[in-house]
A and B are shown apart, each in its own frame.
Chain A
Amino acid sequence: MAQTVTKVAARTEGLRKMYGVGDASVEALRGITLEFEAGGFTAIMGPSGSGKSTLLHCLAGLDTPTEGHVFIGDVDITELSERQLTQLRRDKIGFIFQAYNLIPTLTAEENITLPLDIAGRDVDPDWFDEVVDTTGLRDRLSHKPTELSGGQQQRVAGARALVSRPEIVFADEPTGNLDSRSSDELLTFLRGAVTDHGQTIVMVTHDARAASFADRAVFLGDGRVVDEMQAPTAERILDRLKSLEV
């Protein structure tokens, strides 16, 4: 079986998303076609209302597009049933949200292994150790989320997203609630996952500094892709954003 290894981890084709009906309807995505390379770190940027969160939700199978297709690997997820989507999220996708990432009743370790526990899969101890050590959470594993700082909580969420070796990790404003030091720690960790382990990450953010950790920045405006930038720096991004907002 000569199966070619796709270099694309996820892609969209003519993605449209409408909310509401008739006159009251709002078009959040107006035809987006994008590819996300395997092993790449992409930042999706844009002003509020540009559709970046909607795009992420559609990519992750949390929201269903009105039109168009989303592929994770070779699978068109717009064709999947709710049960298959759940399974896809469990096995192939990792998530980091802005807040409320953790289950308060579980320890840090249990939170990290949650997706594997849900799937009933065994934890790869070597990989687990590596993830834990890179996040620097070794001595915090038995703590409950309320006993962790905001930065530590987000790193636990990051570790959780990586521990099941998903094909792609989606991060939705992961640094939105963090101070700059904690942000840097988390972003360095994500950067490392891409560089050292070839993890694919797609991150929505409005923070130029956060986006500068990515390989590529995609700019959305009014539901469309308006620009792209390879190896972005914070300054270049800020300039670009200014021109978009005018």
Chain B
Amino acid sequence: MLRATVKSLLARKLRLVLTALAIVLGVGFTAGTFVLTDTALKSFDDLFGQAYAKTDVVVQAHQAFNPTEGGGGGGGGGQELNPIPERLLPLVRAVPGVRFSEGSVQSFAQIIDPTTGKVIQSGGAPTIGSSWSPDLSPFTLEPGGAAPVGPHEVVVDAGTGTGHGLSVGQQIRVVTPSGPGEYTISGFVRFGSSNSLLGASFAIFDLPTAQRLFHRDGTFDFIYVQGDGSSTPDQLAARIAGVLPHGFDAITGTTAASQQQDQVNQGLGFLRTGLLVFGFVALFVGAFIIFNTFNIVVTQRTRELALFRALGATRRQVMTSVLVEAAVVGLVASVIGVLVGIVLAIGLKALVAAVGLKLPPEALVIAPRTVIVSLVLGTTITVAAAVSPSRRASRVAPIEALRESAAPSSSIRRRVIVGTLVTVLGVGSLAAGLFGGVSNAGYLVGLGAALTFVGVAMLSPLVARPIASMLGRPFRRRVSGKLGGENANRNPRRTASTAAALMIGLGLVTFVAVFAASLKSSVTAVLDQTLRSDLMLTASQFSPFSPQLAKGLSSSPDFSAVSPLRQGAEAKVGSSTTFPVAIDPATITDVAKIEMDAGSITGLSEPNTVAVSRTEADGKHLAVGGTLQMQFARTGSQTLTVVGIFEPNALLNDYAISLDTYDTNVAQQLDSTVFLKYAPGVDQATARANLETLVARDYPSVEVNDQAQTKQAYVKQVDQFFAIVYVLLILSVFISAFGIVNTLGLSIYERIRELGLLRAVGMSRRQVKRMIRVEAVIIAVLGALLGLVVGILFGWAMQRALSSVGIDRLAIPFVQLFFMLIVAALIGLLAAIWPARRAAKLNVLEAISYE
């Protein structure tokens, strides 16, 4: 039996290749994701190892919790840490066993490209400012350079230097928390072996200069210690901790490295999960194609299988033979998939680099886990998809060896019942995930979506015939179109399950399109309703900028209101993570309309107060006058009094606090947005021109936008993000196109005699091709229509679930969705190329006498 299986596999090499391709791509993407994230982790590991190579112990302020990403925003550098008074440094130096000890400060520093006048920043990578450590620096000076000395010198990372044609002795502008300044480059540094640190830019000043520029006068962020080798780092850390006052920790360099590594791990974990989702979607689509292919093949092999049964093979043997075939296909495809994944990882690396995470050119890390998980996943999914076809094969009765009839198919009633059940289950878990407020909501949503797709796919044969007939109508005028339409209708199950594969990809595209449109529509509506400001200052890439800009403008006679907004620091209320928004209670009502349910927003001018969104207040049972505990990484748990409840809007998150409260509890004191209102009677054009000149000179990363431009800029950002999502979804659409190729190929094989007859009675090759194309287009558009329905429903559900956070409008981008239908038709045409050519090339005589 096994030999028969292998022989039948080899006899259908081409079909094998096409079927396997679906799995190859899904496994490839999954393996690629693992390889990429493992490689990234390894890179970071090495980097942090190098960063603390010379440091045995780090002294830093005690942190309430480890924020997920170093202080928020792309400005970077600012750890959420209390400053260390300078007077602690001599105490540390006096501890026995300390060889070197030096203080260090960090913040952001944006280097301006002298030719373009723009901030040097690759993607969203941080722009880091730091003090120079003479003894313990992880950086090494390149030959020809010198350490920075005095208030006018800076050292820049070699990557930025070579990338933008900078040279030693050159004057450059650097924007720091104190504003812009002119500095002379005294040298370039490399970081270990690489000349850049993951795309981040570095501007390094001597310690006093850095302390002044970063507003750290008399304080450090860290004290780095190197031992003299007389004791282990652990012993040294314990000894140093003994001399530190309360609120400061001494940890070993290894611990510090692993803490930072943990932060990166979390960030990469999100990336990995995000990419894996797309890999799983691709595998899911692949499963449909496997299912479909095996079903068709079982039908075609009915007589062969019946012969086996007649010759004494048991049902179990027949079933096993199909499953073994699936396992072999799955395993071979998975092995190829892993290889493809390694190649893909290189491509993904480029994609991630486009988003701003530049990984050093290191060898790819291929962990045993990557290989095992990929092989197991690919093989299991293939076998699982073949279970139902194999059961069908096992039900073939021996008598059918002698009959002309097709293989038995399970009753449509059972299919409807099971399909309905699966759909209900899917919609149920989707709803529970979106609206139930349960933990692990992500998994529930994913499972719900997958089940819904399976359920709809099971039910789709019910609608396949009427829809396919309707779609076929425009083609009926010509006989080729009519025959193509009839062929699409001939086996509604086959047509439906082929279309179902495309449904998944296009359903997700529709979902994303609806969600993105709703997001854009909701936010622009909020901007219209909420914003009363004339101008808005924002920085590209969401990176915050120096508060000096707002300070300077507040004294300008051109503007009657200057209201900065800060966001980015992570805080915790109870166990949930939130990003509170900091506003100026005195000016916010001049630039924005905030609808209050209770209390007032100006109440925030009192210290230690908070305003809460209505939904959050309802959920947490908060009322004006009550208190809540908000935990900040830097200052720990703070008791805040609720002074107002506001209607949810896109400007304020769940929690709004004053700028003063933010400054007290958050180290990174940068503005994300500044709202401006023209003073009455001012010539607005001149005022704006003056502002733009000022910003261009001193704050090159900042953009000046009026309301319409703000909306435009926002829409552009959303579009850019979703463009990446679309690119990732194309993979599964691509796989489902192979499904169409495969089904058409197998159908042609079945109808070979019929094709011969058509050719004999005078159908031209061109007409044959057209016939196949019509069938493909109908299948593809059917899939797109199903996807459209499911996707719009998903989008609607998602919008409802997120309406409390401000996505309160459902927008269905009809033009875009119509365009998608056309693209689906094109996919059909593309998928038909090869089968059509094959059908047209048939030798008429052989086809007629084909047995």
Contact = CB atoms under 8 A, between A and B. Distances in A.
A228 interface: no
Given A62-B848, A117-B479, A86 B487 contact: no
A237 B482 CA distance: 45
Nearest to A172: B848
A90 B489 contact: no
Contact of B761 (A63, A89, A100): A89
B761 A95 contact: yes
Contact of B486 (A82, A89, A93, A105): A105
A118 B753 contact: no
A48 B55 CA distance: 95
Contacts of A160: 761
B769 to A, nearest CB: 13
Given A62-B848, A63-B845, A105-B490, A90 B761 contact: yes
A103 to B, nearest CB: 6
A118 B767 contact: yes
A118 B478 CA distance: 8
Contacts of A62: 760, 844-845, 848
Nearest to B767: A118
Contacts of A103: 483, 754, 757-758
Interface string A130-147: 000000000000000000
Contacts of A106: 483, 486
A114 to B, nearest CB: 6
A182 interface: no
Contacts of A120: 478-479
A114 B761 contact: yes
A11 to B, nearest CB: 21
Contacts of B757: 97, 100-103
Interface in A92-114: 93, 95, 97, 100-106, 114
Nearest to B484: A105
Contact of B479 (A63, A93, A114): A114
Contact of B487 (A93, A105, A117): A105
B762 interface: yes
B173 interface: no
A165 interface: no
Given A106-B486, A114-B479, A119 B754 contact: no
A228 B480 CA distance: 43
B490 A86 contact: no
Given A100-B753, A105-B487, A119 B762 contact: yes
Interface string B834-851: 000000000011001000
Contacts of B844: 62
Contacts of A95: 760-761
B754 A89 contact: no
A216 B525 CA distance: 89
Given A100-B757, A103-B757, A104-B754, A86 B762 contact: yes
Given A101-B757, A105-B486, A105-B489, A91 B848 contact: no
Contacts of A91: 762
Contacts of B761: 89-90, 95, 114-115, 118, 160
Contacts of B15: none
Interface string B804-826: 00000000000000000000000
B614 interface: no
Nearest to B762: A90
Contacts of B763: 86, 90, 118
Nearest to B486: A105
B759 interface: yes
Given A97-B757, A106-B486, A118-B479, A86 B845 contact: no
B764 interface: yes
Contacts of B767: 118
A149 interface: no
B765 interface: yes
Interface residues of A, number: 28
A97 B848 contact: yes
A12 B844 CA distance: 21
Most buried by A among B486, B758, B761, B763: B761
Contacts of A63: 845
A209 interface: no
A87 B765 CA distance: 11
A57 interface: yes
A104 B845 CA distance: 20
A118 B762 contact: yes
A242 interface: no
A82 B385 CA distance: 44
B489 A83 contact: no
A95 B759 CA distance: 11
B479 A89 contact: no
A203 to B, nearest CB: 16
Contacts of B479: 114, 117-118, 120
Contacts of A104: 490, 754
Interface in B706-760: 753-754, 757-760
Contacts of B487: 105
B348 to A, nearest CB: 46
B179 to A, nearest CB: 77
Contacts of B765: 82-83, 86
B489 to A, nearest CB: 7
Contacts of A105: 483, 486-487, 489-490
Contacts of A90: 761-764
B762 A57 contact: no
B368 to A, nearest CB: 53
Which of B480, B490, B764 has the most chain A CB within a 10 Å cutoff?
A: B764
Contacts of B482: 117
A87 B759 CA distance: 10
Nearest to A88: B762
A30 to B, nearest CB: 20
Contacts of B490: 104-105
Interface string A186-218: 000000000000000000000000000000000
A105 B747 CA distance: 14
A232 to B, nearest CB: 27
Contacts of A117: 479, 482
B509 to A, nearest CB: 32
A61 B765 CA distance: 15
A89 B489 contact: no
A104 B848 CA distance: 15
A63 B760 CA distance: 11
A120 B482 CA distance: 13
A131 B845 CA distance: 28
Contacts of B764: 83, 86-87, 90, 118
B18 to A, nearest CB: 25
B526 to A, nearest CB: 55
A105 B757 CA distance: 13
A106 B757 CA distance: 13
Count chain B CB atoms within 10 A of each CB in A104, A105, A115 and give the residue with the most: A105
Contact of B760 (A83, A87, A89, A102): A89
Task: From B480, B487, B754, B844, name the one whose CB has the most chain A CB atoms within 10 angstroms.
Answer: B844
B473 to A, nearest CB: 15
A57 B845 contact: yes
B29 to A, nearest CB: 39
A101 B756 CA distance: 10
15 contacts: A62-B848, A83-B765, A86-B759, A86-B764, A87-B762, A100-B753, A100-B757, A100-B848, A102-B757, A103-B754, A104-B754, A105-B486, A117-B479, A118-B480, A160-B761
Given A83-B765, A103-B757, A118-B758, 8 more contacts: A62-B848, A87-B764, A95-B761, A103-B483, A115-B761, A117-B482, A118-B762, A119-B762
Interface of A: 57, 60, 62-63, 82-83, 86-87, 89-91, 93, 95, 97, 100-106, 114-115, 117-120, 160
Closest 4 pairs between A and B when the two form their complex, measured CB to CB: A90-B762, A105-B486, A117-B479, A89-B762
Interface of B: 478-480, 482-483, 486-487, 489-490, 753-754, 757-765, 767, 844-845, 848
